[in-house]
Structure 1
Amino acid sequence: MTRRILFLLLFLITSLQAYSQKKLVDTTDFGKWAYVSDPGISNDGKYISFTINDQPYPSSIMVIKKTSTNWEKRIPNGTSVKFSDDSRSAILKVKDTLQIVNLEHGQTQSIPGVESFGLVKFKKAEWLIYHPGNIAVGLILKNLKTGQQLTLDSATDYQPCPDGKSLLVTQNYKDKIGEQELVIYDPELKISKSLWHGPNPYFIIFDNLGDKIAFYTGSSLECYKLATLYIVDLNTGEDMKVTLQDLGKSEDMTFNANFYDHYRFSNDGKRLFFSVSDQDGPIKPGNGVKVTIWNYQDAKLQSCQSDPTLAKQEYLYCFTIKQNKWIALTNEFESIPYNCRFSRNRKDDYIVVERIEGNASEFYWNPKSKQKVTLVSTLTGERKVIKEESKDYLKEIEISPNGNYLVYYNCANRNYESYDVQTGIVRNLTSSIHTNWGNINGIPSMQSPLGILGWMQDSRKILLKDFKGVWEIDLERQMPPVNFITPNYSNRIFTILRSNGNNIYQYGDILIFQGYNLENKSCGFYKLELSSGKKMQFLSEGPYQYQKNYSYYSTLGPNELMKAKYSEDYLLTRQSASTAPNFFLTTDFKKFKQVSKVYPEKGYNWITSELHQYIDDKGERQEGVLLKPQNFDPQKKYPVIFIYYTESTDNLNKYYYPEANGGYINFPWYISNDYLIFMPDIKFDSVSTSGESAYHSVTAAVNYLTKKPWVNQNKIAAHGGSFGGFETNYILTKTGVFTAAMELAGMTNLVAMYGSIFTPYGNSQTVGYDIGMLRMWGTLWDKQQNYLDNSAILHANKITTPLLIMHNPKDGSVPYEQGLSFFIALRRLQKKVWMLEYENQNHIIYPSNRIARMDYQIRVKQFFDHYLKDRAMPKWMSVGVPAKFRGVDNGLKLEE
């Protein structure tokens, strides 16, 4: 017994010494933290690649690794790695040197002076194509298997042909300076065939069969109105052309060659879809008085019409090649819904068009923002109205793969419906299902259905996704809906992890889902076989996060999950609050093999995270995340900073990097230096304003946490930004419990905010208050008291907490005047208040301005250190910095 006690004491002492020897995070670590990036996996799954950055700073090391052994190759400053199709080679660049790594033997061949490269497969041979930096040499082709090398001296660009046998080469035309030639080149036979020559062909596309190409020509890419659209038959060499004059369009229009989704051949190759658009800026320059005329009858505010980022009006056309005629498919104010874009997996005889003249955000009151949905034949231009103008939008509209049905979510009845293209019959598909199809936050303006997961192969059934499950729905309602989720998983939220790529399924297919556990916030994986009687099958779960930021609405991105082309090997990223993101391999989502090991936090007093659940004074459960240092000592008294926005517990397992953030404080810096951070979820309801809900949830968290013996209840602070800044300002008018508070870019005067706009977009902000995130539950005139009660500036006299504000003059979301007027009010009331204003910065400080970000982080830390740790005041707080010394004396020196 005595030995065991001695052993435990020795272990405890050793552990404490180890923690005491660990470094503390400080500003010298910002932007220099090691991390992994750029994952890749070979087609057979036997090799992976990734980059280790900043180990040490500022190095970059490309790692190519065999997954079944310890073999790896490290290449300093390697970039742009590509695996060959047969997985025998890896090709990458080191500066301007191309390196070809033989993965079977490990040898490397170097080719200096390379500008760019690509891999193309012809028949059974794979070729490396690269462009030397030497302007005298065009393209060099190298057979990876035989080593055979070919040179195309005058080539400037290339595209592989769909037939897999040849290359479409753009080269300088030898007979006329300034023109280029399109040539079909067969590298095996070394035969070239000239197709066309003329000025500057660009945006070249093929039809599915590889029989035709289309492209634009013009004197420059910027001058689309002078462009000509060409269609060339690769078999006969015949060409056709279309100009704006042929379409009857004026000089105020341009070809919109960037409109990729709608610039394509039809699936049968008989038609070409393309678009034209309005020009940027005024139609014609004028010498008249530059007066902006705001008219209540305008569909959109003048500020919206002047938005430089506003999408130009697109007009979609269909050109029938054999008949040499075109059909206009869209008119003014019409656009193609996102899910209705053309696809190779769907018949393109019809296109869905929606007409919204005004801003969609004003749907609930502006008659010109109503939505009209029309089905248009791409063969004849004939139109069928699916829904007349209505403020109740149809969302997530999709056309079935066979083109016989439309399926959409109807906001009017909150159900999915189908439309039979042939008969015009509309069927409510989900009236018998009582579930939440997507509006998880209860905000009327944010009805965001998750949409269609996929189509069964016969196009008569669809798979619909809600937050808790997958439903199989018969489009003609001859069979009842089938739910594939077992009731045991009712506390999970599922998002599709990997589909088959075309969203068309057959019975027996396997779908992999990410499951988020609402109780403990763990993430895991589940498998669903699309068969009768099958239910979701559990694979694994743990205290990890597989996305940078977890969201109910999104799945893993392309760099967060990759699959080998010819095997069931998956490469994914995993992280937790205490361990940095690294790459893992799996074949079954049950067992995971770690393939990168970059843990920069190991030498530091790092973060641990805990989920806390507690009961508020209404008897309701509340939740929050507590971040503590690894060397946490329950015998000490810690200062706590409460940070909030909406939901924080979803990112319980998020890894935070030491960096100079432009908004919220940097968590690792504070935690490592003996602060605690608590992030409560804000629990909203359908009655309370957002300010009331935030006050209730945050004070519940304060009441809970300050009862802990290791919390110094006299040293607690509040911190929020943007919407969280609004919450902070409101809370400070209701309680003096906080020792200090810091808010950035928060709203303070909701009456003024109601009449403001977002810049540069020009949209009115009223929707956020009427039916949006601020939850005023009505207009300024219907719910005037809500606006007055939630305007902190009207209650500034009640604030007793020292407050630091950051609000920048270029803020396009919350006008700068909101912060400035609040500061002036508090100053007039002789409250303790400071305001930071960074020149030319926006809602946050831009990432490009690292110096300003660092300055901001240091000042906020000095502010909290003074009030929560009794450190000396810096000069900028105690006496200020006169305007004439701005940029000269930073005032960061502490008072003695």
Structure 2
Amino acid sequence: MKGFICLMMLLLSGMGEAFSQKPPMKLDDCKMWRSVDQIQLSADGKWIVYNFRALYRQDLDTTYIYNVQSGEIILKTGLSNFSFMGNGKLLKYEKKKEGNDSGSGRPLVYTLNLATQVEKQWPENIFLVPIAGTDMAYYVQYKAAGKIDFTFVNLLTEEEDHITGINTFGQVEANRLIYSVSDSLKSTLYLWNRGKQVRIGEVPYYITGISVPEANGCGTLTCASDYDTRFDVASIYTFDLNKRLCTKLLSYGDITGLPDGTKISSSSRLINNNTQLLIELEPTVYPQMRREADQVNLELWVWDENISPRRSFKRSGFDVSSYDKYIYDIVAGKCFSLPTKGLSSLAFPQGQEVKGCIAFDATPWYKESDWTMSPNNDVYYIGMNGSKKKLASHGKYDLSWAPDGSQALLYDPAPKAWRLINMATGDIRDLTTGKLPYPIYEEDHDYAFDASSYGVADWNMDNQSVIVYDRYDLWSIDLKNRKTPVCLTQGIGRKELITFRKAEKPVSISGGKLYLEGFDEKSKTKGLYVLEGKRLRKMAVDPHYNLVVKASTANHKVVLWTKENYGERDFWVSDLTLRNPKRVTDTNPQVKYINWGSTQLYTWTNLEGKKNEGILFLPEDYQKGKSYPVIVLFYEKMTQGLNSYRIPEYSSATIDIPWFVSNGYVVFCPDISYRIGAPYESCYNAVISGVEQLIRDGIADKERIGINGHSWGGSQTAWLVTRTNLFKCASPCSAVTDQVADYLMLRGTGQPNMYFEEDAQGRLGKTLWEDRQLYLDNSPVMHADKIHTPLLIFHGEKDTSVRVYQGMALYFAMRRLGRPAWLLNYRDVGHQMGGDAECRDFMQRLIGFFDYYLKAAPMPEWMKAESN
């Protein structure tokens, strides 16, 4: 905290006369900026606790405790791992022991009574666990031979209730606990209820796990032979708290017919009202990978092998997909298998009722994943009776389970439709084709691979419907196909260009209100809406800020939320309408005293005659009609971040927007929509048309325009300067410059870059041999003779995504042609910067480069040949 105050004092001391002209940021001013690190709202809504994090210093160890009613703040230092307890009445935290500056050793645990401000230090090696909705907590103390002493504690009265010598315990409730005590012959199950011990029953095994009892008081116990074999389940028992009875359900020793070398894993689970065991296999002994002393370190590559040798998803060791799935029928006492052998992954519903599974099999398509973004799959239904049906083939599918597991939705990219699977029969039918007036897949998808779905919002099993998204709205679809789909948001999203999605917070009320987050494409802001039946209404919307709920009390009467745009991002508290809020945090007050900036949505007509959008980042002292030095920075689409707050920091990949804007630059970030086979031409159409419009509008000085991009943006930057001399200077960073070489290079994941050029961002859509001219035309180094723009090329020598050869190739091309170019090859850096020192150095050189060409500043010494 002291460091922050000192920095603020230094900043304020240089403000000039009565702050008449705000100074621009200096290189190291980013050290003043911070963000909220942790923030929590108490369950009763009376308190908020938070602290800050700074990027480049560790002196912010202050914890802020905010009183929601009064607005007062209590400051505490040296706290860590804080959390509310006692339904919000207490704050628990940890502190280092006095004199222990090394950080080693377990810290001490404290609680602070927020009403009385009385702090209590708990004994060493105590880890307090709150019991939800109560003033209670518990802690355990481990003894020899697996014994545990368990203690209930009332956090307000400090009354304690001890249970000693237990072995295993289950779910903890207020003064209520199910636990077991074991000896060498048996385990006895007990219920502890408000200080009274009730014996439930015993089993002739060591109890290793106790399930949460159902409403009828019944649950299950997993058991091992003894303490030493506690990680190997031997049997499962049931218990009944009302009848005070433990009954054997099954013994793993009775299960036969499993493959040799395998055993039942402890992750196996009971299904279908505890009548079946869904078995997970593991090896009896895990294989040891050992290289013999005289073994040759050879990696054999075979031209037609299914998986190329370096692929990260190649299986090694124990491969469960090489076995069928096994089910043990407890009533019949028989084990049966499902035909799943060879299928790469299985998806079972998580609930008790399991009628079958959905299997995804990528193995037939592994080979082509060298040149596709990700492996395609075949999809199968596997019934519990052993039936097997292929549902779809060769695609990238989305799956959504009904809460009860009786049905599932499969998004099939071939018909671009949601298909409903009956999990009892495997029957599948199209649920959306011809039923909805708008696509349920990404409308503006511009990749070579198939478009993904917009997703599923919710299932309503009461009225047998599911809610799916289109681009803007929510649609309720009758699962029995009796009713026409209903647009729950009444088409308002598409009409007003607002994308509605289910909000993460506040939690929607089942059968009642559905809270939605709405992103307005016009203002690029997020707001909160509520859907009640067929009525959609605004809760909180501001055309200048993103408003996002982060936490809420259960009754939604107290809500913690963020208000964000380019100028600020802070937390506020109010009721759910977000009206009459109280400001909780003031994270970066220094921004008021620095020439900061603002954002503006910029619109123009591109070279294809279409509307194009971009972001203009303008200095705070921007004057309309005055031309400015401009840096163009882009990466596909960026306008959705128009109102995102940006913390200034040393450059890790591109220019730091806040710093350059503060120092008098306009930064222009145009959106790009791509055509398959012409990605760079698409970039040219959007970027150049936008820059030319900036010149016509008098915003950009045509003699002072630079360009900068990283990775895919860097590749486009390098290509654009082969097509135009509009830019005074350019800095392509971590850029592919030779598409032919890149196509045949290996990434760190073991995947050839074929996928990138054909299927992913490269968007060429063809192989090198189908259209080699296409690859040559889109390779900047092949057209380096057309570059007359000075280049600052950045690359990391340890980059495994874009190999350093790519940066060197462009540098050597420029060098051979006698054109000005500098290569910053950071030897210990990957695809983007890592350490603070490297980032600061890179930023300093970016500043020097752009200031020299766009502001007529002196040439930095490092740019002069004789200085190297």
In 2, Cα distance between equivalents of 1:730 and 1:777: 18
1:433-471 C-alpha deviation (Å, 9 max, x unpaired)? 232323232324252212221222236321111121111
Alignment correspondent of 1:334: 343
Paired letter, 1:419:
I
8 Å CA contact 2:556–2:575 kept in 1: the answer is no
8 Å CA contact 1:363–1:391 kept in 2: the answer is no
In 2, Cα distance between equivalents of 1:29 and 1:107: 39
Q: Is 1:813 equivalent to 2:801 in the alignment?
A: yes
Mark the CA change 1:763 to 1:591 in structure 2 (over 3 Å): closer, same or farther.
farther
Alignment correspondent of 2:77: 76
Q: How does 1:110-125 map to 2 (within 5 A)?
A: 110-111=121-122, 113-114=124-125, 116-120=127-131
Q: Is 1:466 equivalent to 2:466 in the alignment?
A: no
Q: Is 1:109 equivalent to 2:120 in the alignment?
A: yes
Alignment correspondent of 1:417: 419
Q: Aligned-residue CA RMSD in angstroms?
A: 4.2
8 Å CA contact 1:741–1:804 kept in 2: the answer is yes
The alpha-carbon deviation at position 363 of structure 1 amounts to 6.7
Q: Determine what percentage of the aligned residue pairs are the same residue.
A: 21
Paired letter, 2:220:
K
The alpha-carbon deviation at position 677 of structure 1 amounts to 0.9
Secondary structure at 2:363's aligned position in 1?
A: coil
Secondary structure at 1:706's aligned position in 2?
A: helix
Alignment correspondent of 1:482: 486
Q: Is 1:623 equivalent to 2:628 in the alignment?
A: no
In 2, Cα distance between equivalents of 1:539 and 1:870: 51
Alignment correspondent of 2:93: 92
Residue 503 of structure 2, aligned match among 497, 502, 512: 497
Mark the CA change 1:774 to 1:661 in structure 2 (over 3 Å): closer, same or farther.
same
Q: Is 1:540 equivalent to 2:547 in the alignment?
A: no
Paired letter, 2:378:
K
Alignment correspondent of 2:634: 644
1:145-178 C-alpha deviation (Å, 9 max, x unpaired)? 4421245677899653589820558x9x9989xx
Alignment correspondent of 1:36: 36
Mark the CA change 1:698 to 1:500 in structure 2 (over 3 Å): closer, same or farther.
closer
The alpha-carbon deviation at position 409 of structure 1 amounts to 1.5
Alignment correspondent of 1:614: 604
TM-score (norm 2): 0.83
Residue 266 of structure 1, aligned match among 264, 271, 281: 271
1:31-69 C-alpha deviation (Å, 9 max, x unpaired)? 542322322122232332222345996122222323232
Q: How does 1:794-873 map to 2 (within 5 A)?
A: 794-846=782-834, 849-873=835-859
In 2, Cα distance between equivalents of 1:881 and 1:363: 48
Residue 446 of structure 2, aligned match among 418, 442, 447: 442
8 Å CA contact 2:572–2:581 kept in 1: the answer is no
8 Å CA contact 1:671–1:677 kept in 2: the answer is yes
Secondary structure at 1:705's aligned position in 2?
A: helix
Paired letter, 1:541:
V
The alpha-carbon deviation at position 497 of structure 1 amounts to 0.6
Alignment correspondent of 1:653: 643
Paired letter, 2:71:
N
Q: Which moved more, 1:353-362 or 1:837-846?
A: 353-362
Q: Is 1:211 equivalent to 2:211 in the alignment?
A: no
Alignment correspondent of 1:343: 350
The alpha-carbon deviation at position 336 of structure 1 amounts to 4.8
Q: Is 1:166 equivalent to 2:180 in the alignment?
A: no
Q: Is 1:129 equivalent to 2:151 in the alignment?
A: no
Q: Which moved more, 1:512-521 or 1:110-119?
A: 110-119
Q: Is 1:357 equivalent to 2:363 in the alignment?
A: yes
Q: Is 1:670 equivalent to 2:675 in the alignment?
A: no
In 2, Cα distance between equivalents of 1:74 and 1:828: 62
Mark the CA change 1:82 to 1:130 in structure 2 (over 3 Å): closer, same or farther.
farther
Alignment correspondent of 1:714: 703
Paired letter, 2:92:
I
In 2, Cα distance between equivalents of 1:71 and 1:654: 29
Mark the CA change 1:570 to 1:654 in structure 2 (over 3 Å): closer, same or farther.
same
Q: Is 1:297 equivalent to 2:307 in the alignment?
A: no
8 Å CA contact 1:499–1:511 kept in 2: the answer is no
In 2, Cα distance between equivalents of 1:220 and 1:33: 53
8 Å CA contact 1:120–1:129 kept in 2: the answer is no
Q: Which moved more, 1:592-601 or 1:851-860?
A: 592-601
8 Å CA contact 1:398–1:407 kept in 2: the answer is yes
Alignment correspondent of 2:51: 51
Mark the CA change 1:500 to 1:834 in structure 2 (over 3 Å): closer, same or farther.
closer
In 1, Cα distance between equivalents of 2:235 and 2:574: 47
In 1, Cα distance between equivalents of 2:535 and 2:154: 49
Q: How does 1:138-157 map to 2 (within 5 A)?
A: 140-150=151-161
Alignment correspondent of 2:516: 513
Paired letter, 2:343:
E
In 2, Cα distance between equivalents of 1:113 and 1:376: 53
1:512-562 C-alpha deviation (Å, 9 max, x unpaired)? 1111111221222222123xxx24323332245659xxxxxxxx7xxx622
Secondary structure at 1:796's aligned position in 2?
A: helix
The alpha-carbon deviation at position 128 of structure 1 amounts to 3.9
8 Å CA contact 1:581–1:655 kept in 2: the answer is no
1:330-373 C-alpha deviation (Å, 9 max, x unpaired)? 74443556xx55334x732322222221567947999x965332
The alpha-carbon deviation at position 318 of structure 1 amounts to 4.3
Matched pairs, number: 824
Mark the CA change 1:412 to 1:834 in structure 2 (over 3 Å): closer, same or farther.
same
Q: Is 1:428 equivalent to 2:430 in the alignment?
A: yes
Alignment correspondent of 2:570: 581
Alignment correspondent of 2:8: none
In 1, Cα distance between equivalents of 2:653 and 2:713: 11
Secondary structure at 1:605's aligned position in 2?
A: coil
Q: Is 1:373 equivalent to 2:376 in the alignment?
A: no
Mark the CA change 1:381 to 1:764 in structure 2 (over 3 Å): closer, same or farther.
farther
Residue 748 of structure 1, aligned match among 726, 737, 744: 737
Paired letter, 1:805:
I
Secondary structure at 1:724's aligned position in 2?
A: helix
Q: Which moved more, 1:130-139 or 1:474-483?
A: 130-139
1:625-679 C-alpha deviation (Å, 9 max, x unpaired)? 1112223344755321100011111101111112224212222222222222111
Secondary structure at 1:536's aligned position in 2?
A: strand
Paired letter, 1:496:
K
Mark the CA change 1:306 to 1:441 in structure 2 (over 3 Å): closer, same or farther.
closer
Q: Is 1:594 equivalent to 2:583 in the alignment?
A: yes
8 Å CA contact 1:456–1:462 kept in 2: the answer is yes
Mark the CA change 1:153 to 1:714 in structure 2 (over 3 Å): closer, same or farther.
farther
Alignment correspondent of 1:525: 528
8 Å CA contact 2:169–2:177 kept in 1: the answer is no
8 Å CA contact 1:299–1:369 kept in 2: the answer is no
The alpha-carbon deviation at position 243 of structure 1 amounts to 8.8
The alpha-carbon deviation at position 319 of structure 1 amounts to 4.8
8 Å CA contact 1:255–1:277 kept in 2: the answer is yes
In 1, Cα distance between equivalents of 2:502 and 2:719: 39
Alignment correspondent of 2:242: none
In 1, Cα distance between equivalents of 2:867 and 2:223: 60
8 Å CA contact 2:131–2:172 kept in 1: the answer is no
8 Å CA contact 2:370–2:751 kept in 1: the answer is no
Mark the CA change 1:822 to 1:138 in structure 2 (over 3 Å): closer, same or farther.
farther
8 Å CA contact 2:797–2:804 kept in 1: the answer is yes
